[in-house]
Amino acid sequence: MTKYVYTFTEGDKDLKDLLGGKGANLAEMTNIGLPVPPGFTITTEACRHYLDHRTMPEGLDAEIEAHLVALEATLGRGLGQADDPLLVSVRSGAPFSMPGMMETVLNVGLNDDSVLGLATRGGDERFAWDSYRRLIQMFGRTVLDLDGALFEDVIDALKAEKGVTDDPDLDAADLRRLVARFKEIVAEQTGRPFPSDPREQMRQAIRAVFDSWNAPRAVLYRRRERIPADLGTAVTVCSMVFGNLGADSGTGVAFTRDPATGWPGVYGDYLQNAQGEDVVAGTRNTVPLAELATIDARSHAELMDIMDTLERHYRDLCDIEFTIERGRLWMLQTRVGKRTAAAAFRIAEQLVDQGMIGLDEAVQRVTGDQLAQLMFPRFDDRAVAGDDVHPLGHGMNASPGAAVGKAVFDSYTALKWSRSGERVILCRRETNPDDLEGMIAAEGILTSRGGKTSHAAVVARGMGKTCVCGAEELDIDTKNRRMSAPGGEVVEEGDVLSIDGTSGRVFLGEVPVVDSPVVRYFEGEIDPASDQADDLVRSVDRMMHYVDAARHLYVRANADTPEDAARARRMGAQGIGLCRTEHMFLGDRRRLVEHLILADTPEERRESLEALLPLQREDFDGILDAMDGLPVTVRLLDPPLHEFLPDITELSVRVAVAEARGESHENDLRVLQAVHRLHEQNPMLGLRGVRLGLVVPGLFTMQVRAIAEAAVDRIRAGGRPRPEIMIPLVGTVQELEIIREDALTVLRRVGEENGMELDLPVGTMIELPRAALTAGRIAENAAFFSFGTNDLTQTVWGFSRDDVEASFFSAYLEKGVFGVSPFESLDVDGVGRLIRIAVDEGRAARPDITLGVCGEHGGDPASVHFFHDVGLDYVSCSPFRIPVARLEAGRAAGRGPGHVH
């Protein structure tokens, strides 16, 4: 028969899937001899059965009863026993932490009789009635699904009647009245009396915790966090200990190290004469844990000892909940604690130094997201701590970075001011698609409403722009173009603001911004061995050395200019995975492109191409020089041609005016006709990429020649250029075949002209579903594949990023359709599946094919793990994300296959 119930002495910390995080860690603490109030845990398996069949699995009731009887025997008291009651808490605990999503009921076992026994035994009548009213309140809310306000209102009314403000001001008689009234509320609302049978209370509470797994907010939370919906929650039944039995009792929470900085030293809060939930509720002021040493030296010393044990045992920072009942310490919870990015790196480093973990494990304790956080520019800490800085309030840290600018309250002004060279912060209650232009123009975005999936947050993250959202304490009045802060300050349009997207803080005035020391280290400006390097830089340096040796994936950069290429190289790039050529056709050269497009005769076309050739060659010279010795994948021209032509409206007006004045306008008219001809409804799906190469004769061959001639230049100069030629937007092998033939001919010819052999790889992007599905054929004609995951995501989902991200993505995230935008993190199930197919078929057709990815996903942590798992050779990302990709590639290699998070 399946075992559904485990006493604390039976399980251990590795049984999280079965016992939930809370139950597993309570068992672990029990088994290493720490003082845990005895209890037992009902498994997630029981919960799954209950949720599937709407009945408790057979034998569960009997098993629970047997464990309860054993617990009663251990403690020598019966559950709810009238003269000396055993009370228990019924606690939820999922395999993954789901903070605040599910409930816990304390003081189960109290009724009109046992409350008297508790009062006598505890020698404190007020305490007993307070415990009882808490039970009815929590039971009412959690088990009976009543509105918590029903109870809160009664408490508030009673306080008002007595003229007091705090709970502790209510005496035993008041609390007894509350209990009576609460029971009436339960009877009125549910049509049934509050259950007085302790075992019935426990049974109902267990069921309610099971049910809470499917409470709407829990379902939504899981969808967003991508926690599987079918795990279920465990239920832990734990004998009650009381921190509210007077001054020699209390409750607290603590960390074994500072979770903010990572520096050693215990850190926590303590509340005298209180129960656990009071600390969380924040209704009373806690004291720092250190003060416990003067309040109760013995318990304090024991607690320090226990925290030391826990840290050694878990080999990591732990956080704990504890309660002291009349001078006796009890541990109620522990887990490996959350921490800031800086703390994560420092703690991992310290644990290595202390010999507790190896570097292989240390790199698993930090993440690429944390590294990215350490790399954003930030406000100068000293300035923030100083007197010159004026904090206004804070909101949610929606998109990291530090931004300074003048406050504007509408998109139009943001655009206008930024065009005249001002830096602006766009302040809105919330944003919508109409604000897009202003958001693009602004340095940062501040909203007073909405969470991390609000429109402002989603769009800002997509643009990599600093954003603080949901700063509810700031009253943003867009009509009158002003904002007022809780401190009474009024910010008018044009006043300077500083917003910190990493911490969510908002300041009045300009706070100085400094480069992160971690970036200065990556840029080679800080030597990790010197005094200039702090412990954080040293920790990052050590981890980077480790991951660089461990990883299988190469990391390249997306870079289009010699400057970007040089920077990428400093950041550790091992080549360029995507060198775009489109910007090389703008500016002064636009005119030449215009000629090319409008050419009526082959001679005219040749002229334009000949004029473009030396310019292109120069572009490639610089980049190949900056990346000497490393591969540089150059993508031939990709965007729709009309992007290089003048604006259609402007031109139409010019032609119309000239016509009206009877002036000559032949050239404009010709251009206008071409613009009309080339205008597209859906440019993303129009004449671009390889299609351009096929219909504009000479364009791609000119580019190939420029690349080849640049390579010749570099070889003559003693360099080792390694350019690769990449054809975009191929859907079928025939397209590739034609372009590749042409390219090989040009390479041969340039080689002959210069007396050398030019053997440059020619490959293709895989960015259309059809290309992925026919990858075997395509591979026969491609030396390499580079997955263009941006376009592949657009074409697999059938949406255009520019259109959808700003219009409905926030709604999709809000509704949990996806947990994260598929442009931010690769859609493994859909897009990833196509990549797998293409990898398998590509390698089967051409075993030595090089496989890489050049979409933005190349710098996204979860996506990097996927690319490692499918066996790509490299990822390519923006220069700034290279350290993140290096770290995650090393972490992926150390984890073995199958780990995505």
Minimum distance of ligand ADP from residue 130's CB (angstroms): 13
Q: Helix, strand, or coil here: 676?
A: helix
Minimum separation from the CB atom of position 689 to Mg ion (A):
7
Which residue from 599, 547, 555, 600 is spatially nearest to 577, judged by alpha carbons? 555
Stretch that binds Mg ion, among 473-481, 644-652, 783-791, 866-874 (CB under 5 A): 783-791
Residues 352, 346: Cα–Cα separation, whole Å = 10
Cα–Cα distance for residue pair 608/343, rounded to 1 Å: 58
The alpha carbons of the chain give a radius of gyration, in whole angstroms, of 33
CA–CA distance from 800 to each of 12, 431, 581, 682 (Å)?
49, 20, 22, 9
Among 238, 699, 733, 885, binds ligand ADP (CB under 6 A): 238
Q: Which of residues 273-292 bind ligand ADP (CB under 6 A)?
A: 276-277
How many residues are given for the chain? Answer: 901
Using CB under 6 A as the binding rule, whether residue 108 contacts ligand ADP is answered as no
Candidates 460-468, 602-610, 625-633, 767-775; binding stretch for Mg ion (CB under 5 A): 767-775
Q: Nearer Cβ to ligand ADP, position 108 or 779?
A: 108
Instruction: Name the residue nearer to Mg ion (CB basis): 594 or 767.
Output: 767
Residue 758 sits in the site that holds ligand ADP (CB under 6 A): no
Closer of 68 and 736 to ligand ADP (Cβ): 68
* Structure token digits, residue 117: 């026994």
State the nearest-atom distance from the C-beta of 76 to ligand ADP, in Å.
17
Could you tell me if 344 and 259 are in contact, meaning their C-beta atoms sit under 8 angstroms apart?
Answer: no
Among 110, 332, 467, 671, binds ligand ADP (CB under 6 A): 332
**Apex CA 390: angle with CA 388 and CA 391, to 5°?**
145
110 near ligand ADP (CB under 6 A): no
Q: Quick one: which segment of 186-194, 201-209, 236-244, 466-474 binds ligand ADP (CB under 6 A)?
A: 236-244
CB of 255 vs ligand ADP, minimal distance in Å:
15
- In the bound complex, what is the minimum distance in angstroms from residue 89's beta carbon to ligand ADP? 3
Helices (H), 662-732: 666-678, 690-695, 699-716
CB 882 within 8 A of CB 864: no
Per-residue x/- mask for ligand ADP, residues 304 to 323, rule CB under 6 A?
Answer: -----------------x-x
Cβ distance to Mg ion smaller for residue 333 or 370: 333
Residue choice 788, 842, 852, 858 for contact with Mg ion (CB under 5 A): 788
Nearer to ligand ADP among residue 241 and residue 839 (C-beta): 241
Please, what is the minimum distance in Å from the beta carbon of residue 647 to ligand ADP? 58
Q: Which of 318, 854, 868, 877 is catalytic?
A: 854
> CA–CA distance from 670 to each of 252, 589, 676, 677 (Å)?
79, 19, 10, 11
Q: Is 854 a catalytic residue?
A: yes
The least distance separating ligand ADP from the CB of residue 91, rounded to whole angstroms, comes to 3
Nearer to ligand ADP, 106 or 485 (CB): 106
- Ranked by CB distance to ligand ADP, the top (closest) residue is 276
* 320 vs 374, beta carbon nearer ligand ADP: 320
Binding status of residue 767 toward Mg ion by CB under 5 A? yes
Q: Which DSSP state fits 164?
A: -
Instruction: Residue 337: name its binding partner from Mg ion, ligand ADP, none (Cβ under 5 to 8 Å by kind).
Output: none
Nearer to ligand ADP by Cβ, of 104 and 850: the residue is 104
**Cβ contacts of residue 666 below 8 Å, gap of 6+?**
none
CB burial of residue 123 (10 Å; 0-12, 13-18, 19+): exposed
- The answer to whether residues 456 and 428 touch, using CB atoms and an 8 Å cutoff, is yes
Closest approach of ligand ADP to the CB of residue 860, in Å: 31
Q: What's the closest the beta carbon of residue 240 comes to ligand ADP, in angstroms?
A: 4
- Helix residue ranges per DSSP H, 420-551: 436-441, 455-463, 517-522, 535-550
Q: Is 104 in the site for ligand ADP (CB under 6 A)?
A: yes
3-state SS, residue 811? helix
Say which entry of ligand ADP, Mg ion, none residue 397 contacts (CB below 5 to 8 A, set by partner kind). none
Q: Quick check: 130 and 244 in contact, CB under 8 A?
A: yes
The helix/strand/coil state of 718 is coil
Binding partner selected for residue 735 from Mg ion, ligand ADP, none, CB under the kind-specific 5 to 8 Å limit: none
Shortest distance in whole angstroms from residue 410 CB to ligand ADP: 42
Stretch of 43-51, 232-240, 255-263, 407-415 contacting ligand ADP, by CB under 6 A: 232-240
Residue 333 interacting with Mg ion (CB under 5 A): yes
* Sequence-ordered strand ranges (E) for 240-364: 250-257, 264-272, 287-288, 318-325, 328-336
Neighbouring C-beta atoms of residue 408, cutoff 10 Å: 27
Contact window for ligand ADP (CB under 6 A) among 66-74, 234-242, 334-342, 751-759: 234-242
In the complex with ligand ADP, the residue whose CB is nearer, 101 or 533, is 101
Q: What are the residues whose beta carbons fall under 8 Å from the beta carbon of 455, sequence distance 6 or more?
A: 430, 431, 432, 433, 435, 806, 810
Task: Find the binder of ligand ADP among 16, 91, 642, 777 (CB under 6 A).
Answer: 91
Rounded-to-integer distance, Cα 611 and Cα 613, Å: 6
Residue 104 neighbours by CB under 8 Å, 6+ apart: 89, 90, 91, 92, 138, 142, 209
Nearest Cα to Cα of residue 814 among 417, 456, 444: 456
Q: Is 827 exposed, middle or buried (0-12, 13-18, 19+ CB in 10 A)?
A: buried
Site size with ligand ADP, rule: CB under 6 A: 15
**Could you say which of ligand ADP, Mg ion, none residue 791 binds, taking C-beta under 5 to 8 angstroms by partner kind?**
Mg ion
DSSP characters over 323-350: EEETTEEEEEEEEEPP--HHHHHHHHHH
- The answer to whether 791 contacts Mg ion (rule: CB under 5 A) is yes
Please choose which of ligand ADP, Mg ion, none residue 240 contacts, taking the beta carbon within 5 to 8 angstroms, the exact cut-off set by kind.
Answer: ligand ADP
Which partner, ligand ADP, Mg ion, none, binds residue 276 by CB below 5 to 8 Å per kind? ligand ADP
Helix axis angle for 125-142 and 172-190, nearest 10°, is: 20
Select from 71, 105, 240, 398 the one that contacts ligand ADP (CB under 6 A). Answer: 240
Site string for ligand ADP, 33-62 (x = CB under 6 A): ----x-------------------------
Binding segment for ligand ADP among 144-152, 237-245, 474-482, 700-708 (CB under 6 A)? 237-245
Residues 94/210, Cβ–Cβ less than 8 Å: no
Q: Which is nearer to ligand ADP, 326 or 520 (CB)?
A: 326
- Alpha-helix residue ranges (DSSP H) falling in 354-410: 359-362, 368-375, 381-385
The one-character DSSP state at 245 is S
Of 396, 466, 463, 432, the residue nearest 823 (C-alpha): 463
Residues 88-127 that bind Mg ion (CB under 5 A): none
Binding site partner of 91, from ligand ADP, Mg ion, none, Cβ cut-off 5-8 A by kind: ligand ADP
CB of 37 to ligand ADP, least distance (A): 5
Return d(Cα 847, Cα 333) in angstroms, integer.
Answer: 53
Among residues 455, 857, 865, 868, the one annotated as catalytic is 455
Q: Which is nearer to ligand ADP, 282 or 355 (by Cβ)?
A: 282
CB atoms within 10 A of CB 58: 11
Q: Which residues bind Mg ion (CB under 5 A)?
A: 333, 767, 788, 791
Active-site positions read 455, 854
Q: Which residues bind ligand ADP (CB under 6 A)?
A: 37, 89, 91, 104, 106, 238-241, 276-277, 321, 323, 332-333
